[in-house]
Amino acid sequence: MSINELATMYRDKELELHPEFQRYFRWSGEQKSRLIESLLLGIPIPSFFVHQRADGVWDVVDGLQRLSAIFEVMGILRDASGTLLTPLTMTATKYLPSLEGKRWGANEADLDGVGGDLQRVLKRSKLDIKIVLRESDADTRLELFQRLNTGGTQLSGQELRNCQILMVSEDGLDKLRAMAELDSFKQVAALSDRNLEEQYDLELVVRFVVLRGHNNEGIGALGPMLDDEIIEIARNAAFDWHHEKDLFDQTFLLLNESLATNALRRCYEHGRASSGGFNVSLFEIFALGLANRLETGNALDVERIRAIHQAFWGDQDVLVQFRGKAGGDRLRTTLPMGRSLFGAE
């Protein structure tokens, strides 16, 4: 199909880009300009996959980032609120340096505008579209998305997971975000800017929800397990999000009050924090261990938590046993250790 045909379908709301996904895509202006260069030069680009819904509308499953870039250049892309975005100002590319500073829709006399001839070439460019026609299968779109987006993606694991969750429950993702916004969680985790950019804070919330009640048996590869289980939770209308958030809040309020940033970092002797950053093994031991204790209804006061922490660090090499272990292997030790440490067995 030509880009012009796809643009018409998008304007007529017959092609759904899922703008709520766009927050997880991080293409730079340079990358978008290189895509336009390829199209203008006639260089083939990979196929696009769409899922045809029962009402005939196409949901873009793979290629959203590329189509978003094309529509942004054309000045027709809308954000999640329906607001029309400003046409992209392009940058110079290797073979088309004259694209520098150009933008779509400018007056023909405007030297900064993309000329009509280039606009026609782009609109007539053909894209290969693969259509999945199984409208009756509600899981087809999610399955296809998972298969097509597991290799070579520019998304972090959690950003990809966010898109999968959105496909089954926008409300579920909102609930996870609300937990990640808790001030005491932010203060205890104290994640780096890069971690936050890649949505690692949301991944920790997912780990909390999925792993908290998990026993240490039958744990395989961590990533696929998180994907599968959080999607099942998100689509479960009976899941008690209020209880989960309340337990999350209690856990991090106590950790912040008792240990602050020492809670999830390696410590020197006498409980003094090291210069190291967040440690996921300590999250699994202290955050999940304390949450499991709190769920029994037996609360712990601040002084008792500090005493448990100090006793834990009595063995200065306690974390050596987790070094280099994959998630599943590590969890088989950290989860029961946390339950034992906090008396939640």
d(CA 293, CA 230): 22
Residue 110: what pLDDT? 52
pLDDT, one tens digit per residue, over 41-63 is 999 888 888 888 878 888 887 78
Tokens of 207: 């780990």
Residue 155: what pLDDT? 63
Closest to 94 in 3D by CA, of 42, 168, 37, 146: 37
Q: Decide if 114 contacts 104 (C-beta within 8 A).
A: yes
Three-state DSSP string of 18-60: CHHHHHHCCCCHHHHHHHHHHHHCCCCCCCEEEEECCCCCEEE
Residue 157: what pLDDT? 78
Between the CA of residue 275 and those of 69, 162, 264, 292, what are the distances in Å? 41, 31, 12, 29
pLDDT, one tens digit per residue, over 283-322 is 999 999 999 999 988 888 999 999 999 888 876 667 666 6
d(CA 153, CA 144): 14
Q: To the nearest whole number, what is the mean pLDDT of the chain?
A: 83
Residue 55: what pLDDT? 84
d(CA 247, CA 58): 40
Q: Decide if 298 contacts 182 (C-beta within 8 A).
A: no
Tokens of 230: 């959080």
**In b/e form, how buried is each residue of 292-315, taking b as 16+ CB within 10 angstroms?**
bbbeeeeebeeeebbebbeebbee
d(CA 286, CA 255): 8
Between the CA of residue 18 and those of 50, 68, 86, 138, what are the distances in Å? 12, 10, 18, 17
d(CA 335, CA 221): 15
**What DSSP string describes 170-201?**
HHHHHHHHHHHT-HHHHHHH---HHHHHTTHH
Tokens of 39: 């199209």
Q: What is the pTM of this model?
A: 0.70
Instruction: State which residues of the chain have pLDDT below 50.
Output: 109, 111, 136, 151-153
Residue 144: what pLDDT? 66
Strand order in the sheet with 58-62: 15-16, 58-62, 48-52, 129-132
DSSP 283: I
